[in-house]
């Protein structure tokens, strides 16, 4: 239990009169349902985790009344106050959290078994899927959700979509295909005007661009294929490039201000299931230049560079090698320069920026130090 000066406003207290020589803290600690208690002179006022629809907010104070709330402490020891993670492990094994706020702590939990998602707009959403093997209409799904005090939900992130997909995969042996209703519906009037499409009009089928704008503002695309449509998107925050020879590659840059060797960059990319990437176009290179320029100007750096995968190997005569497995192009060979004249046996490439005079170039250099690296992977 953690005891602090503070107060909590709620009408959901469970009153309990302690027995002789029993404290409110001890009773709450020993009671599986209790997560918080306040000593109200003659009785204990307790709060329960069982009803997950309730939100409790502890307002921290400096004197006066005290509030005791339950957390699970490591090894039954009391760590330094700023090292507490405010988690509570229930007897069932479920882990719940007190969220630290500017003024105290907040208890805001999903119903037992429901999945909690923290959205980019600051809202917390709880979700649960429900299988109906015999089938159910969308309107009936809405009614079922409302009957348990919930709503047929929308989806606002890749994490939410992947969680639902995982639930679908659990049902794959039930039938040849499986699907769950979600909220979201094209609203069209009697004339066929659909407000979710450009200019509030429903265009001809062959003129639809198949894009989806998420609440975050990110734009995703369905790719038409010969057989239908394909959903092929990069990890959240990664940049997607469509290459001339039909491959889709996702890239992300990683800053290492203290410097990193080229081989260590390879390892870092491999650890997250990607490769140190190669480059095949001006578009890809300019995207890296923009990030180098932004970091360099913001921090007044003299120069800044990110490793890419290409190497100029020179055992006898020099030749370019690329080992990411998907950058099948001589672009780097045709657009590189040398940072110094002497070539060693292994010379690495980085994308380089310097402000005075402005230089943005792919350079061949020794494999020692750059200020970051570019990871990539091919979407399959």
Check residue 317 and give its pLDDT: 58
Q: Is residue 190 part of a domain?
A: no
User: Of the candidates 249, 324, 237, which has an alpha carbon nearest to the alpha carbon of residue 283?
Assistant: 249
Cβ atoms of 2 and 69 closer than 8 Å: yes
Check residue 195 and give its pLDDT: 41
User: Do 256 and 375 fall into the same domain?
Assistant: yes
pLDDT above 90: percentage of residues in the chain: 18
Check residue 40 and give its pLDDT: 77
Q: Is residue 203 part of a domain?
A: yes
pLDDT bracket for residue 271 (50, 70, 90): very high
Q: Residue 193 pLDDT more than 50?
A: no
User: Do 119 and 101 fall into the same domain?
Assistant: no
Task: Give 133-143 pLDDT, tens digit per residue.
Answer: 888 898 899 99
Rounded to whole angstroms, the Cα distance separating 138 from 155 reads 16
Which residue, of 67, 90, 108, is where some domain finishes?
A: 108
- Average pLDDT score over residue span 320-347: 71
Check residue 63 and give its pLDDT: 82
Q: Is residue 261 part of a domain?
A: yes
pLDDT bracket for residue 199 (50, 70, 90): low
Element (H, E) at 349: strand 346-354
Cβ atoms of 371 and 306 closer than 8 Å: yes
User: Of the candidates 322, 325, 331, which has an alpha carbon nearest to the alpha carbon of residue 362?
Assistant: 331
- Average pLDDT score over residue span 255-267: 93
User: Do 335 and 257 fall into the same domain?
Assistant: yes
- Per-residue tokens: 69: 């709330």
- Per-residue tokens: 239: 């940049």
Check residue 93 and give its pLDDT: 80
Helix and strand counts by DSSP (H, E) for the chain: 6, 23
User: Do 29 and 102 fall into the same domain?
Assistant: yes
Q: Is residue 193 part of a domain?
A: no
pLDDT bracket for residue 269 (50, 70, 90): very high
110: which DSSP letter?
Answer: P
Task: Give 98-155 pLDDT, tens digit per residue.
Answer: 888 888 888 877 877 888 888 887 778 889 999 888 888 988 999 998 888 888 998 8
Q: Is residue 335 part of a domain?
A: yes
Rounded to whole angstroms, the Cα distance separating 89 from 83 reads 17
Q: Is residue 179 part of a domain?
A: no
Check residue 341 and give its pLDDT: 54
Which residues, 6 or more positions from 191, have their beta carbon under 8 angstroms from its beta carbon? none
Segment among 114-118, 230-234, 247-251, 289-293 with least mean pLDDT: 230-234
- Average pLDDT score over residue span 330-357: 75
User: Do 345 and 243 fall into the same domain?
Assistant: yes
Cβ atoms of 324 and 365 closer than 8 Å: no
Q: Is residue 153 part of a domain?
A: yes
User: Do 39 and 92 fall into the same domain?
Assistant: yes
User: Do 72 and 102 fall into the same domain?
Assistant: yes
Cβ atoms of 334 and 284 closer than 8 Å: no
User: Do 11 and 103 fall into the same domain?
Assistant: yes
CATH of the domain at 335: 3.10.100.10
300: which DSSP letter?
Answer: T
Check residue 76 and give its pLDDT: 67
* Verdict on whether the full-model pTM lies above 0.75: no
Q: How many Å separate Cα 183 from the centre of its chain?
A: 22
Mean pLDDT of the chain: 81
User: Do 139 and 75 fall into the same domain?
Assistant: no
Q: Is residue 124 part of a domain?
A: yes
- Average pLDDT score over residue span 333-353: 73
pLDDT bracket for residue 44 (50, 70, 90): confident
Rounded to whole angstroms, the Cα distance separating 342 from 336 reads 15
Q: Give the structural domain span for 220.
A: 198-231
Cβ atoms of 43 and 103 closer than 8 Å: no
Q: Residue 194 pLDDT more than 70?
A: no
User: Do 375 and 251 fall into the same domain?
Assistant: yes
Distances (CA, A) of 33 to 24, 29, 94, 96, 114: 14, 9, 13, 13, 18
Task: Give 7-20 pLDDT, tens digit per residue.
Answer: 887 778 888 888 88
User: Of the candidates 253, 300, 254, which has an alpha carbon nearest to the alpha carbon of residue 279?
Assistant: 253
User: Do 28 and 82 fall into the same domain?
Assistant: yes
- Long-range contacts: 138-146, Cβ < 8 Å, 24+? 138/181, 141/181
Q: Residue 200 pLDDT more than 80?
A: no
198: which DSSP letter?
Answer: G
Q: How many domains does the chain have?
A: 4
User: Do 245 and 364 fall into the same domain?
Assistant: yes
């Amino acid at each position: 239990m953690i005891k602090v000066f503070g107060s909590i406003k709620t009408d959901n207290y469970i009153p309990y009169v302690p027995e002789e020589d029993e404290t409110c803290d001890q009773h709450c600690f020993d009671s599986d349902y209790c997560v918080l208690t306040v000593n109200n002179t003659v009785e204990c006022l307790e709060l329960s985790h069982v009803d997950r629809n309730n939100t409790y907010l502890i307002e921290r104070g400096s004197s006066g009344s005290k509030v005791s709330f339950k957390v699970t402490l490591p090894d039954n020891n009391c760590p330094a106050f700023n090292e507490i993670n405010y988690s509570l492990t229930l007897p069932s094994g479920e882990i719940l959290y007190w969220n630290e706020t500017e003024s105290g702590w907040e208890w805001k939990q999903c119903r037992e078994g429901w999945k909690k998602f923290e959205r980019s707009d600051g809202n917390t959403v709880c979700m649960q899927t429900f299988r109906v093997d015999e089938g159910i209409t969308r309107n009936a799904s809405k009614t079922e959700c409302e009957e348990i005090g919930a709503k047929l939900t929308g989806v606002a992130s890749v994490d939410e979509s992947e969680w639902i997909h995982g639930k679908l995969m659990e049902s794959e042996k039930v039938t040849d295909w499986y699907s769950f209703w979600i909220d979201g519906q094209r609203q069209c009037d009697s004339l066929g005007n659909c407000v979710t499409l450009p200019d509030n009009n429903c265009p001809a089928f062959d003129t639809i661009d198949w894009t989806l704008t998420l609440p975050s503002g990110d734009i995703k695309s369905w790719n038409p294929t010969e057989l239908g449509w394909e959903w092929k998107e990069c990890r959240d925050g990664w940049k997607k490039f469509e290459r001339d020879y039909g491959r889709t590659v996702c890239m992300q840059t990683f800053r290492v201000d203290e410097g990193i060797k080229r081989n260590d960059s390879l390892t870092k990319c491999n650890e997250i299931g990607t490769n140190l990437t190669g480059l095949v176009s001006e578009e890809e290179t300019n995207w890296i230049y923009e990030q180098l320029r932004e970091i360099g100007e913001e921090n007044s750096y003299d120069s800044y560079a990110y490793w890419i995968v290409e190497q100029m190997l020179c055992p006898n005569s020099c030749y370019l090698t690329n080992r990411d497995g998907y950058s099948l192009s001589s672009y780097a060979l045709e657009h590189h320069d040398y940072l110094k004249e002497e070539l060693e046996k292994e010379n690495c490439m980085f994308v380089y920026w310097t402000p005075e005079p402005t230089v943005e170039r792919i350079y061949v250099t020794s494999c020692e130090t750059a200020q970051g690296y570019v990871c990539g992977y091919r979407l399959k």
